[in-house]
Structure 1
C-alpha cells in the first residue's frame, strides 16, 4: 500500500500538457512554490506558455464592400481559398481555407472580422507574424464596372446618377458586388455603355438636366464617365 501511495505521489512530479505545441518562456524555476487552479484559473500559477503551431489561425478584416465576395466564397466549399504572402514578395508562404466570418459589420471601422485556417507542418509561419492575405472567391460573373466615386450612399442603398439620351439624370439604385481601388463592379442596375455622373452629384436630383463641359471656377459641370463591361476574372 505504501508503494502504491508513493507511486501516486511520484506521478504528481510529472506534468503532462493537455495540448501539443511549442513551448515559450518558462515562468517558474526549481524550488518555486506553485498552486493549482482548484476550478479557478486566476489562482493557478502559470508554468509555461504552449503555442499551437499547426494549424495556425490567421485573423484579418475585409471592407464591408466585399460582403458579396465573402458570401460567394462561403457558398461554395471549393472556393474561399486563402494565400499568404510577405510584404514586397508575391511568393506564397502559406495556403489555407476561410473558416470564419463574423455575424456583423464593425460599425466603427466598416469592416468584417474574418479568419482562415492555415496548415503549418513545416513551421514556415510563426504565431504573431504579419502577413498579406489574398482571398480567392472563384470566378466572378461578367458585371458592369464604374468609377467608385460614381456610387453614392443613401438610406435605401447605393445608387448612381445615369445620364439619359436627353441629357437628364436618373437616380438609379444599384447593387455593388465588389469594390477594388478606383472601380466598383455593379451586378444589378447598370448596363455597359451607360453614362454615370462621377462628380457634382450633390447638386443633382432625379430628372435634373446636365451637360458635359469643362470645369470652371464657381459652378463646375458634373463630370461623366461611361460604364464598361467587366469580364470574368478570378478575384
Structure 2
C-alpha cells in the first residue's frame, strides 16, 4: 500500500501551516492596542542616579599657572688660558665640584723655564741698577768739588732711570710668566656639576680657544626656572611684588605634592611682541637636586589669597555651545541647568565667579543622562577625582 501524500493533500497541509499563527498574531495586536503607551512625562519622572557635591565658601590662593624651563644659575665653559699639552684630568664626569677644585693640568715645563729666564733677567737688571745708583752718587759728589763735569753727571742719572725702567719691565715679564705657569693648573671657578670631558689628555690645547672648550660646568644650587605669563597680568604681578616677595611653586605631575618652592626674582624689561607674554624667573635653592637644567616643569605663581570664594569640584563643570554650564539639584530633587562664569581652576577645584551660591548642590557625575527638569537620585561624592559618566 502506497502511503506517499498526493499533490493535492500536500497543498492543503502547507496552507494549514501558514494560517495557524494568524489568530495568535491578531490576539497580540489586539492586546497592544488595548494598553496605553508609556508617556514621555512618566519617563521624565524616573529619577536619574547622580553623584553630587556641595558648593563651598573657602579662602583660596590667587595663582597663575604656566610651563617653565629649568636653567642653571651659572654656566661656565672651561678653556685653556695657555698653550701646551694637556697632561691630566682630575675630575669625574657628571660629578659635583667646588670652587678651586683641580680640573686639568697642562705641561708646565716650558712655562717654568720661561719664568726662570724672566727672573734671571730681573736679577741682572737689579744688579746693574744698584751699580748705576752708586756711580751716579759718586759723580754727583765729585761734581760738587769740580772733579766731574755736568755732562757725566747727567749721563749717570740717565743710566739709573733707564735701568729702573728695565727692572720694572722685568718684574712685569716675570709676573706674566708666573701667571702663565699658574694657568697650567686649571681649577673650577664655581660650585657646580661637570659635564662630559671634551678634550682628552695628550692633546695639544690652544690658549683661549672658544671653539674647543675642555669642559662645561653648570651651577644647580640655586636653580632658575624661566617662564612666561600673559601681559595682562603684569600690573598685578608688579603691584604685589612691590608689597611682598611672591612664591613660585613646582607641583608634582599628580598635583598632590610640591616638588620645590622658590621666589620670583626677575621680570623682563619688555613684553614679547610676538606672543604678548612677559618673561619671569623664579629662583630655587634646589638643595635636593630635583630641578635639572633643560627640564620642563609646571609652575604656579602665588599672588596672594582670595577669601570667601565659591568653589566646586572641577568635574562638575561641562562645556557646551553656549559656554560652561553645570547642573544644580533643587530642593525638589530636580536638575536645574545653570550657566556659570569661571574665575580660575585650581587642580580638582574650580572657583566660580557667578552662577552658583555657597551651599547649593551640584552634580559631579551622571550629567550626560540629565536634561533640565529631570528628577534625580543624588548620592554624595567620594573622595578623590572622578570622571563624568
TM-score, L = length of structure 1? 0.51
Asked if 1:45 is matched to 2:208, the reply is no
Query: How far off its partner does 1:175 sit?
Result: 0.9
Maintained 8 Å contact 1:82/1:136: yes
Match of 1:190, SS state, is: coil
Deviations 1:71-117 (A, max 9, x none): 9777622363246899xxxxx9975213579x99xxxxxxxx98631
Gaps of 5+ in 1: 61-70, 87-91, 105-112, 215-222, 227-235
State how far apart, in whole Å, the 1-side matches of 2:379 and 2:205 are.
Answer: 72
Aligned residue among 222, 240, 244 for 1:76 = 240
Provide the residue aligned with 1:187 in structure 2: 353
Provide the residue aligned with 1:230 in structure 2: none
State how far apart, in whole Å, the 2-side matches of 1:99 and 1:202 are.
Answer: 46
Provide the residue aligned with 2:26 in structure 1: none
Maintained 8 Å contact 2:259/2:290: no
Match of 1:28, SS state, is: coil
Q: Which has the higher contact order (CA 8 A, sep 6+)?
A: 2
Aligned residue among 34, 41, 60 for 2:205 = 34
Maintained 8 Å contact 1:74/1:80: no
Provide the residue aligned with 2:55 in structure 1: none
Asked if 1:150 is matched to 2:321, the reply is no
Provide the residue aligned with 1:128 in structure 2: 292
State how far apart, in whole Å, the 2-side matches of 1:36 and 1:155 are.
Answer: 67
Give the number of the structure whose residues are more often helix, by fraction.
Answer: 2
State how far apart, in whole Å, the 2-side matches of 1:5 and 1:164 are.
Answer: 93
Alignment of 1:149-168 (within 5 A): 149-154=315-320, 157-163=323-329, 167=334
Deviations 1:2-60 (A, max 9, x none): 9667866775662888963336254435542335787xx6xx22212222244222579
Match of 1:210, SS state, is: coil
